[in-house]
Amino acid sequence: MPVYNDGTAARRLLEELATEAPASRLTVLLVDDGSVEDAPRPEDLARVGLAGRVVRLRRNVGHQKALAIGLAEALRDEGVALVAFMDGDGEDRPADLPRLLDALTGSGADIAVAQRQKRHETWLFLTFYTVYKPVFAALTGKRIDFGNFIVMTRAAAERLSLMEETTTHVAGAVLASRLRLVRVKSDRGVRYAGASKMNYVALILHGLKSVIVFSEDVLVRLTILFAGILGLGALALVVALGSKLSGLATPGWLTLVVGFVLVGCAQAGILVFMALMTVISARRTNNVTPVELAGLLSSRDAR
C-alpha cells in the first residue's frame, strides 16, 4: 500500500484490514512515498496485530512507481504466494479483498482486478473518466475498466516486476502483460481522512501514461489513420481534377480542394511524426524495471 502524508487514513485501513482478512496469512507492506508529515510507522502494524514492514522511499516518486517498488520489495520474501495492491486511504475497501482472493483462486486466472461500479467522485472527475475510457479504447484497442486494486499470483507478480511498463502505469502494464484476468465488480469506497493528493493535472497525466504504455499500438493506429487520410485526399484531388477538366467545377474550386487536402495531410503527418518521437523518447527514458527502481530508492524499516 503506497502512503504519502496519509498515515491517519492508513491506520484506519489497517484496523479494518485486520478484521476482514486472515491476519495469520497476511503480510502488509506500507510504502512511504517520501512523506514529510503524517507518515506510516511500523508500530501501526503491530498495534492491530498485522505482520509487515514499512519501506521508506528517499524521495516522492508518485503512486505508480511506489506500487512498483512495493511489488519488488514484496517478492524479496520467498514465502509470498499472492500479492495484492491497495490504496492506503480507504477507497479500496478491505471488505473486497477476500472477494478478489476467492475470485483469483476459484477462476484459475493470473490476476483478479476490481472492476469499478459506483464511485464517490466529483462530476468533473466522472466526466473525464467517461471520456477517457472510449478514447483509450480507440487509441490502443484495449478495454480498461479497473485501477490499482488487484490481487495476483506470485508468477504474475514476478512478470510485472520485470516489466518497464509497471513503473509507468500499473493497470496498463497488467493489460500489456497478456496475463489472464478475472474481473470482480466492486464499488469504490470513501476516503477515511484527509484530501486526495491527485489533482486534475495529475489525473490527466495519469490517463496519458496509460496510453504511453501502448505507444507502439497507438503509433500503428495513427499510421493507418494517416494512410486513410492520404487515400481520401488523393480521391478528393482526382474528383476535383475531373470536375475541372469536365467544366463542372466553379472557378477556384480546384485550388480550394488542393489547399484543404494539403493542410489535412500535413496535419496528419505532423501528428504521426509527434507520436513517433514520443515512442522513441519513451523507449530511451522508460527503461527501469520495478526491481531496479527499488534498489535505487527504497530503505526498509524493521518489522
pTM to 2 decimals?
A: 0.81
**Average pLDDT estimate for 140-145:** 90
**Average pLDDT estimate for 181-194:** 88
Read off the pLDDT of residues 101-128 as tens digits, 9 standing for 90 and up: 999 999 999 999 999 877 666 777 778 8
Q: Is the pLDDT of residue 303 over 50?
A: no
The better pLDDT of the pair 127, 280 is held by 127
- Reported as a pLDDT band with limits 50, 70 and 90, residue 20 is confident
Q: Is the pLDDT of residue 284 over 60?
A: no
The better pLDDT of the pair 18, 195 is held by 18
**Average pLDDT estimate for 177-192:** 91
pLDDT above 90 as % of the chain? 44
Backbone angles phi, psi at 194, to 5 degrees: 70, -170
Give residues with Cβ within 8 angstroms of 211, minimum separation 6.
136, 139, 140, 172, 218
Q: What is the pLDDT of residue 277?
A: 73
Q: What is the pLDDT of residue 302?
A: 45
**What is the C-alpha to C-alpha distance for residues 229 and 241, in angstroms, rounded to an integer?**
18
Q: What is the CATH number of domain 2-214+287-300?
A: 3.90.550.10
Length of the chain: 303
Read off the pLDDT of residues 216-269 as tens digits, 9 standing for 90 and up: 888 888 888 888 888 888 888 888 888 877 877 677 777 888 888 888 888 888
Q: What is the pLDDT of residue 167?
A: 92
Please report, for residues 165, 176, 289, 291, the alpha-carbon distance to residue 294 in angstroms, rounded to integers and kept in the order given: 15, 21, 9, 5
Residue whose entry in the numeric block shows the C-alpha cell 475510457: 133
Pairs from 198-202 (Cβ < 8 Å, separation ≥ 24): 198/63, 200/124, 200/125, 200/128
Q: What is the pLDDT of residue 121?
A: 67
Highest mean pLDDT among 54-68, 127-141, 248-262: 54-68
